[in-house]
């Protein structure tokens, strides 16, 4: 289920490594969802957890926009699935009636917008702003790789629970 042929080269410059691993993990999340029905994508792990594969895709859409568009590009944060005041976990909680195709299209769009934002920065040392704290593009990309790696582990367990398929 994981395609290591899409992992970055063993010997490549730092930026290429970071961009490559981020692309690899984005692809891995989508691969873990392939071949499942909408209902299977909505399946929760175990009560009381709201964790589902669709919730992970929606969550990573929000995270992509937060780190690359709001923090790095300093644009306002537009929450698609959540609300800071009344529904902080809407990305995970509100999957039962969600349009699955739309959620995946949003994820693809958010990843594309993130790639475009990264491409406008010549240096990994370029700074964004996280609530008044400077954050380098290098840190953001490293954090996003960590975020995907952690959630791809969750996705692997969810997929195994749904249909027994596992990945690396």
pLDDT score for 165 = 86
Q: At what angle do helices 100-119 and 14-33 cross, to 10 degrees?
A: 180
Nearest Cα residue to 96 out of 43, 29, 47: 43
- The pLDDT value given to residue 75: 97
Q: Which residues does the chain have with pLDDT short of 70?
A: 1-4, 167-168
pLDDT at 2: 56
pLDDT value at residue 51: 96
Which residue, 29, 38, 36, 97, is CA-closest to 63?
Answer: 29
User: In sequence order, which residues have a C-beta less than 8 Å from that of residue 138 and are 6 or more positions away?
Assistant: 14, 18, 124, 125
- The DSSP code for 163 is H
**What pLDDT score was predicted for residue 36?**
97
- pLDDT for 8 equals 82
pTM: 0.94
pLDDT of residue 118: 98
Return the pLDDT at 168: 60
Q: What is the pLDDT of residue 3?
A: 65
């Amino acid at each position: 289920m994981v395609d290591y042929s899409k992992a970055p080269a063993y010997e490549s410059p730092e930026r290429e490594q970071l961009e490559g691993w981020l692309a690899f993990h984005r692809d891995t999340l989508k691969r873990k969802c392939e071949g499942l029905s909408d209902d299977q994508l909505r399946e929760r792990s175990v009560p009381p957890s709201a964790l589902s594969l669709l919730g992970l895709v929606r969550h990573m859409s929000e995270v992509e926009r937060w780190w690359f568009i709001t923090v790095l590009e300093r644009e306002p944060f537009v929450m698609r699935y959540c609300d800071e005041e009344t529904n902080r976990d809407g990305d995970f909680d509100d999957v039962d009636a969600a349009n699955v195709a739309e959620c995946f299209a949003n994820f693809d769009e958010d990843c594309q917008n993130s790639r475009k934002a990264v491409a406008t920065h010549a240096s990994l040392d370029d700074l964004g702003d996280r609530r008044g704290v400077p954050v380098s593009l290098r840190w953001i990309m490293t954090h996003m790789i960590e975020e995907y790696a952690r959630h791809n582990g969750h996705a692997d367990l969810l997929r195994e629970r749904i249909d027994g398929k596992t990945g690396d």
